[in-house]
């Protein structure tokens, strides 16, 4: 497409027709054959649904809420990003980025318990994942995801986007960006939500009542928190604190020149920011697209709080 760029090119991956990099296409079998462990916890999301927030929460729970270690070790190293493990294989990746993004071999040898992040839909993940370990899936309303994904592309140098917001929304609805299509990704996870190894969360619930969602995750992971740890964790996960926390806001990647100077990865953290971006006409088109895609399901999104 005219405004969207990912060096090395893109590929549609089956099943599902998901847009990924060509490099991913060449290594997809390695991801499918990757061995999950029974004590892993995977955080699986469509991009911009609250992955980083949830990853940090899960990592803290599995590591006795060790905030000092969390603040001094980049999240990408503590809780590696599965498909970015392929960066070491991309000649166009900025130098040094591979050190921040552990390779598949390194992830394979990481000590337990591992926290693994992926934006891949279940279709492209190891087929026995949900039979093997716990997975936290986070969803977010599509309008805020579009806005957040737009700013993400403006911030990052790879993938990058040079057009306006309206064109971006058209790309989003027509599956011309990496990790799309959005609905099959989320609806497949929604269909699996009664699986005892899957916890399906919404970003909007975390915004509304973080404590309640933290309690759910703690129970799911069997990691009860006493009151002191709960207070510490809630403070640690607050937007104002997380956005200033260089270990989770990808400061090291920014220092390597992977991002533009303007802006930060943890950006605004609001539900309903779409109202500042979508014109009434564009909003109508997006609403029609959402309605069409939700017609046969009971999944409903909260668009504002």
C-alpha distances out from residue 82 to 124, 172, 212, 232, 270, Å: 12, 23, 28, 28, 27
Q: Tokens 């299509």 appear where?
A: 181
Q: Does 49 bind ligand A3P (CB under 6 A)?
A: yes
3, 27, 29, 119: which one is catalytic? 119
Q: How far is the CB of 48 from ligand A3P (least distance, A)?
A: 4
Q: Which is nearer to ligand A3P, 50 or 113 (CB)?
A: 50
Q: Binding to ligand A3P (CB under 6 A): which residues in 168-187?
A: none
Range in contact with ligand A3P (rule: CB under 6 A) among 16-24, 129-137, 180-188, 260-268: 260-268
Helices 210-220, 227-237: inter-axial angle, 10-degree rounding: 120
Active-site residue flag, 119: yes
Q: CA 230, CA 227: separation in Å to the nearest integer?
A: 5
Range in contact with ligand A3P (rule: CB under 6 A) among 45-53, 95-103, 156-164, 285-293: 45-53
Q: CA 134, CA 196: separation in Å to the nearest integer?
A: 8
Q: How far is the CB of 237 from ligand A3P (least distance, A)?
A: 5
Site string for ligand A3P, 234-253 (x = CB under 6 A): ---x-x--x-----------
Which letter does DSSP use for residue 122 in this model? G
Task: With CB under 6 A as the rule, give the number of residues binding ligand A3P.
Answer: 19
Q: Which is nearer to ligand A3P, 9 or 263 (CB)?
A: 263
Q: How far is the CB of 206 from ligand A3P (least distance, A)?
A: 7
Q: Which is nearer to ligand A3P, 45 or 85 (CB)?
A: 45
Q: How far is the CB of 216 from ligand A3P (least distance, A)?
A: 16
In the structure encoding, which two tokens stand for residue 303, read together? Answer: 């668009």
Alpha helices by DSSP H, 156-181: 165-173
Q: Does 268 bind ligand A3P (CB under 6 A)?
A: yes
Q: How far is the CB of 148 from ligand A3P (least distance, A)?
A: 3
Q: Does 53 bind ligand A3P (CB under 6 A)?
A: yes
Task: Using CB under 6 A, pick the residue from 45, 85, 141, 252 that binds ligand A3P.
Answer: 45
- Length, in residues, of the chain: 305
What is the separation, in whole angstroms, between the first and last Cα of the chain?
35
Q: Does 153 bind ligand A3P (CB under 6 A)?
A: no
In the structure encoding, which two tokens stand for residue 38, read together? Answer: 């029974």
Q: CA 71, CA 236: separation in Å to the nearest integer?
A: 10
Range in contact with ligand A3P (rule: CB under 6 A) among 76-84, 107-115, 211-219, 264-272: 264-272
In the structure encoding, which two tokens stand for residue 180, read together? Answer: 């799309």
Q: How many Cα neighbours within 13 Å face the side chain of 253? A: 24
Q: Does 272 bind ligand A3P (CB under 6 A)?
A: no
Q: CA 13, CA 19: separation in Å to the nearest integer?
A: 6
Q: CA 136, CA 146: separation in Å to the nearest integer?
A: 22
Q: Does 148 bind ligand A3P (CB under 6 A)?
A: yes
Q: CA 279, CA 107: separation in Å to the nearest integer?
A: 44
Q: Does 76 bind ligand A3P (CB under 6 A)?
A: no
Catalogue the active-site residues: 119
Q: What is the binding site for ligand A3P (CB under 6 A)? A: 45, 47-53, 144, 148, 151, 237, 239, 242, 266-269, 273
């Amino acid at each position: 497409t005219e405004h969207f760029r990912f060096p090395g090119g893109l590929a549609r991956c089956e099943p599902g027709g998901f847009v990924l990099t060509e490099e991913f296409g060449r290594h997809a079998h390695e991801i499918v054959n990757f061995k999950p462990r029974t004590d892993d916890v995977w955080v699986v999301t469509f991009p911009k649904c609250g992955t980083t927030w949830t990853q940090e929460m899960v990592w803290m729970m599995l590591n006795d809420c060790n905030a000092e270690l969390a603040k001094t070790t980049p999240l990408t190293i503590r809780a590696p990003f599965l498909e970015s493990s392929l960066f070491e294989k991309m000649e166009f990746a900025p130098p040094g980025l591979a050190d921040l993004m552990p390779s598949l071999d390194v992830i394979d040898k990481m000590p337990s318990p591992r926290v693994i992040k992926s934006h891949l839909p279940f279709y492209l993940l190891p087929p026995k994942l949900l039979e093997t370990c716990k997975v936290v899936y986070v969803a977010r309303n599509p309008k805020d995801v579009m806005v957040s994904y737009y700013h993400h592309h403006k911030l990052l140098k790879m993938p990058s986007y040079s057009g306006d917001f309206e064109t971006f929304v058209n790309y989003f609805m027509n599956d011309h960006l990496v990790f799309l299509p959005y609905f099959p990704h989320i609806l497949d996870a929604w269909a699996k939500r009664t699986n005892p190894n899957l916890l399906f969360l919404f970003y909007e619930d975390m915004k509304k009542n973080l404590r309640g969602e933290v309690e759910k995750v703690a129970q799911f992971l069997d990691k009860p928190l006493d009151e002191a740890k709960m207070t510490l964790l809630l403070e640690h996960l607050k937007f104002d604190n997380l956005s200033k926390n260089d270990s989770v806001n990808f400061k090291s990647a920014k220092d390597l020149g992977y991002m533009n100077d303007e802006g930060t990865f943890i950006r605004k953290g609001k539900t309903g920011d779409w109202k500042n971006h979508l014109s009434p006409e564009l909003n109508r088109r997006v609403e029609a697209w959402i309605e069409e895609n939700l017609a046969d399901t009971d999944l409903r999104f909260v668009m504002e709080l």
